[in-house]
Amino acid sequence: MADVSQTNEDGLTAAGSTSNQPRSMTRTLISGTTQITLSQGVMRSLSIVTMPILTSLLSPRAYGGAALAGTVISLVSVFALAGIDMSYSRAYHSAQPPSGAYVEHYCWRFAILGALLTSVVGALAWWFFNRDSIDQDRSLAILVALGIVFSVANTMAYARARLAVRYRAMALTIISSGIIGVVASIGIAAIWRQDALALLIPMLLGYLIPVLLLGTPSIAALAKPSRLTRKEGAALIKIGLAGVVTAPIYWLLSSSDRWFLQYYHGAEAVGIYSIGYSVGIVGMMLNIAVITVWLPEAAREYEQDPERARVTLGRLMDRLIVAMALIWLAVAAAGGDIVRWLANERFHAAADYVAYIAGGVFFYGVLRLADTGLLIAKQLNLGILWWLAGGVFCTLLNIALVPRYSGLGAAITQSIGFALMSVGILSTAQTKFPLRLSWSRLGINMALILAAGVVMIQPWHATATISLLMKLPFGIVVAAISVWITAPDWCARTIEYLCRKELAAFRRG
């Protein structure tokens, strides 16, 4: 399980700094994000392609049971981490001690101990508070406990890999985990069990395999006490401690909707909603890829030149927000047609949920980008009030909308809740570390993409595949216009490069 490679092989010194070679943040961000996005896309494509098989073998009730267990794992895992992964990412490359190997050792010990303790709590909570309507309810307690430990280790393993700039290894790991998970799901459902286990066991494998492939610090080294003083350890924990509040509220916004659906409409409604959710969160693959690369690179850029970072990070954030909005447009336009095309007809009601769930994904991506200013200023706690407001607002909306509108009400709640928080946190972050954002270009792009979304959400033809083909040219035109507005310099350089290639080919010919 331990990573046998030496630190220097990852391109890192003992202090956690990279080599002295000049690095372009834009190039690193694009390269890393592209690799992670493509790998996430492959994994997401596998889950969509296998949707007809699994939805025919498994009932909505099975999907509901697995979804509820997954929400418990995600909630307890964030308490176990207590934001230490954020502290790890921020402090590892810090110019001021503690940094490097000392930070890594402390953060891993903290995370492992937290995972072991909270996994027991999570399993007991599942055992005592499960409902009879959940498939295989009490027998899933051990899987919930294992899921918590594996999830925490997974988060830390990916954090370690991105600090070492191992984006290619991460991409290959994501693809490998996705293939193994899909094969396991179909195999279990076809040969052994047609209940929640067919989805939960592959979920656990998806957490564990990256830990095995990406590696961890030496277990023998982790068994030794940390060299940080109590004061240094407390200061390190404080950086990400806001996660103790914000992460459970993230769960409240992103996962509690299943429990409201379970309470008001039963496990079958949860299962139908989970299909719409699995399509609606396709945009999360870009969010994950961007944040995976963005946070450590932003911290590194700030440490090198704070004033330059305001310009560099602002320009890149503009473009990333537009990219996330275009992903929302693609998912919102195609998602409903994909559900009607690939899912069993028992799940077709989920088509109406996709655009709103995708909206929540977009606003969550903006929120994580906005967090950059607070993370750099080491004041993530200033976002807590917005998270609390979002949590209360989300709960009230779920209570008001889910009983009447079922899954549609839950999806709308996600979108509105994350929108409120993203606007609030962005405004707060700009007061602490203001980035130079191009508000006029952002406003024009958001209006264009929203207008296109309103037109494209509904099916354009009764046959799903024909509807998708009809929407495609229109979507390409909107995307091209949006990219030109956002990054005319990138577009000009791309055209110039293509012209040079054509000219060179013509001369050779």
Quote the pLDDT of residue 148.
93
Instruction: Count each helix (H run) and each strand (E run) in the chain, helices first.
Output: 21, 0
Beta bridge partners of 2: 216
d(CA 453, CA 377): 36
The distance from CA 463 to its chain's CA centroid, rounded to whole angstroms, is: 32
* Backbone phi and psi for residue 352, each to the nearest 5 degrees, phi listed first: -75, -15
Which residues does residue 216 pair with via DSSP β-bridges, in sequence order? 2
Sequence-separated (6 or more) residues with CB below 8 Å from residue 37: 285, 286, 289
State the virtual CA torsion across 208, 210, 216, 222 in degrees, nearest 10: -20
pTM of the prediction?
A: 0.68
Helix or strand run (H / E) with residue 319: helix 306-342
C-alpha dist (Å) from residue 485 to 131, 165, 287, 320 = 52, 31, 22, 13
Return the residue matching tokens 């060179």.
504
Q: DSSP for 14-63?
A: TTS---SS---HHHHHHHHHHHHHHHHHHHHHHHHHTHHHHHHHS-HHHH
The rounded distance, in Å, linking the Cα atoms of 116 and 137 is 22
What is the structure's pLDDT at 258?
Answer: 82
Residue position matching structure tokens 């602002």: 314
Report helix, strand or coil for 145. helix
Residue pointed to by tokens 């503009």: 318
Angle between helices 354-376 and 243-254 in degrees, nearest 10: 170
Per-residue pLDDT of the chain (509 residues; tens, 9 = 90+): 334 333 333 333 333 333 333 456 667 777 777 788 788 778 777 877 787 888 888 888 788 778 888 888 888 888 888 888 878 877 777 767 777 778 888 888 888 998 999 999 888 888 877 655 444 466 788 898 999 999 999 999 988 888 888 888 988 998 999 899 889 999 998 898 888 888 899 999 999 999 999 988 888 778 777 777 777 777 777 776 666 667 677 777 777 888 888 888 887 888 888 888 888 888 787 777 777 777 777 877 777 788 888 888 888 888 889 989 999 999 999 998 998 888 888 888 888 999 999 999 999 989 888 887 787 777 777 777 888 888 889 899 999 999 999 889 999 998 998 999 899 989 888 888 888 888 888 999 999 999 999 999 999 998 989 999 999 999 999 999 998 998 887 778 778 777 777 777 666 66
Among residues 198, 195, 162, 168, the alpha carbon closest in space to that of 181 is found at: 198
Tell me, what's the pLDDT at 134?
44
Query: What is the rounded (10 degree) CA torsion for 391, 392, 393, 394?
Result: 50
Q: How far apart are CA 480 and CA 98, in angstroms?
A: 46
d(CA 203, CA 446) in angstroms, rounded, equals 35
Q: What b-and-e string marks burial along 305-328, b requiring 16 or more CB atoms within 10 Å of the CB?
A: eeeebbebbebbbbbbbbbbbbbb
**Residues facing residue 72 across a β-bridge:** none
- Please tell me the distance from the alpha carbon of residue 478 to that of residue 18, in angstroms, as a whole number: 40
Query: In the numeric block, which tokens belong to residue 422?
Result: 């993203």
How many other CB atoms sit within 10 Å of the CB of residue 417?
28
Nearest CA among 159, 80, 145, 76 for reference residue 112: 80
Q: What are phi and psi of 82, to 5 degrees?
A: 50, 35
How far is residue 352's CA from residue 340's CA, in Å, rounded to a whole number?
Answer: 10
Q: List the Cα angle 7/115/177 in 5-degree steps.
A: 65
Q: What is the pLDDT of residue 204?
A: 93
**Res 506: pLDDT:** 67
Tokens at 450, concatenated? 């929203």
Name the region of 459 (left: φ>0; alpha: ψ -120 to 50; beta: rest).
beta
Between CA 47 and CA 17 the distance in angstroms is: 38
φ, ψ of residue 216 in degrees (nearest 5): -135, 170
